[in-house]
Amino acid sequence: MLPPDVQKLVIGLRAGEQRALARAITLVENDLPGSPLLLQSLLHAQVPRLVGITGPPGAGKSTLVNALLNIWTNEGKKVAVLAVDPSSPFHFGSLLGDRIRMARFYDHPDVFIRSLASRGALGGLHPRIFEIADVVKEAGYDYVLIETVGVGQSEVEIAGLADCTVVTLVPEAGDMIQTMKAGLLEIADVFVVNKADRPEADKLWQNLRILAHQKANGVPETPVLKTIAGKEEGVSELAAAITHQLNTQSHLTERQQYFLVEKVYRLIQSERMKPFSKKALLLQLQEAMRQPNFNIYVFAQQMVG
């Protein structure tokens, strides 16, 4: 039996109440008491609805999300947005607080927006993003958008988590594509060339088309779309491509299975590491380093016991 307060939260969550959702996220985000029980009572409806919007800084991801919100709310859909802000792992603070363009959706009854700092997870997403995504999925939104800033780590994570990953690039990002080729192709379900009115846009679009064409036999080609998010151009085609990708996904992809294993592995890991605090380790390490013949591998072995 769940404690009454968690029970109440779960009921509110399933009813799609925004306040219950916000409180449930806070619970899970901060690993507050009740969080494990809440997570263990999720029904995990297997409806694909998680959309990752990723790409380098300055690619216009927020503007794109804004334009998608516009389209989907006009269709009467409910949309949740998780915005993962970049933050310094040392300062534990988030850098981009203002998402001004989204402002008009903050009070929309069918839209739920939440910013998450990545605080401390080195360069990656929020350390509890999997759990938070599970909570949001439980609230019955038609689309759950996760906007991530950055290239690398967080893109790969988002691709494992999401049912559809939109990789957003701008014409200036040509160099990046050269280095990331294979990685991008693994990650993207849809490519977007945003700010497509800029020079070099066609070249990027062509290069991505060639890249998308290299997929293995039988695998459908990754769509490559052009948008000018600021003018809402090309966005309805993007919305359609996302919806198509979600609707045609009947079972977990290999990538998602791989990621679920990662997720379970991390959950186990966090249990197994509970006896070890980094604060205590620092003190023990400082002490040990004063000894002659200090060796860090010997020290670690002694800590395991």
DSSP per-residue letters across 83-130: EEE-B-TTT--BS----GGGGGGTT-TTEEEEEEE-TTSTTSS-TTHH
**At its nearest, how many Å lie between its own copies and the CB of residue 110?**
28
210 part of the interface to its own copies, by CB under 8 A: no
26 vs 179, which CB is nearer to its own copies? 179
206 vs 257, which CB is nearer to its own copies? 257
Contact pick of 11, 22, 240, 281 for its own copies (by CB under 8 A):
281
Q: Write the single-letter amino acid at 303.
A: M
Name residue 166's beta-bridge partners. 53, 190
Contact pick of 3, 33, 89, 220 for its own copies (by CB under 8 A):
89
217 part of the interface to its own copies, by CB under 8 A: no
179 part of the interface to its own copies, by CB under 8 A: yes
261 part of the interface to its own copies, by CB under 8 A: yes
DSSP letter assigned to residue 147: E
**At its nearest, how many Å lie between its own copies and the CB of residue 300?**
4
**At its nearest, how many Å lie between its own copies and the CB of residue 124?**
7
**At its nearest, how many Å lie between its own copies and the CB of residue 75?**
31
Give percent helix, percent strand, percent coil of the chain, each to the nearest 5: 50, 15, 35
100 part of the interface to its own copies, by CB under 8 A: no
Which candidate, 189, 143, 153, 136, places its Cα nearest to that of 23? 136
Tokens found for residue 135 = 């909570």
Which candidate, 32, 28, 126, places its Cα nearest to that of 82? 126
Question: How far, CA to CA in Å, does 165 sit from each of 63, 84, 88, 97?
Answer: 17, 15, 25, 24
**At its nearest, how many Å lie between its own copies and the CB of residue 58?**
4
In whole angstroms, what separates CA 15 from the centre of its chain? 24
Question: How far, CA to CA in Å, does 41 sit from each of 12, 13, 58, 228, 257?
Answer: 13, 11, 39, 42, 21
90 part of the interface to its own copies, by CB under 8 A: yes
18 vs 36, which CB is nearer to its own copies? 36
Site for its own copies in 135-164 (CB under 8 A): 149-157
Contact pick of 7, 18, 41, 236 for its own copies (by CB under 8 A):
41
186 part of the interface to its own copies, by CB under 8 A: yes
Q: Of the listed pieces 5-13, 221-229, 231-239, 293-301, which binds its own copies according to CB under 8 A?
A: 293-301
172 part of the interface to its own copies, by CB under 8 A: yes
265 part of the interface to its own copies, by CB under 8 A: yes
| 55 backbone dihedrals φ, ψ, rounded to 5° | 150, 170
220 part of the interface to its own copies, by CB under 8 A: no
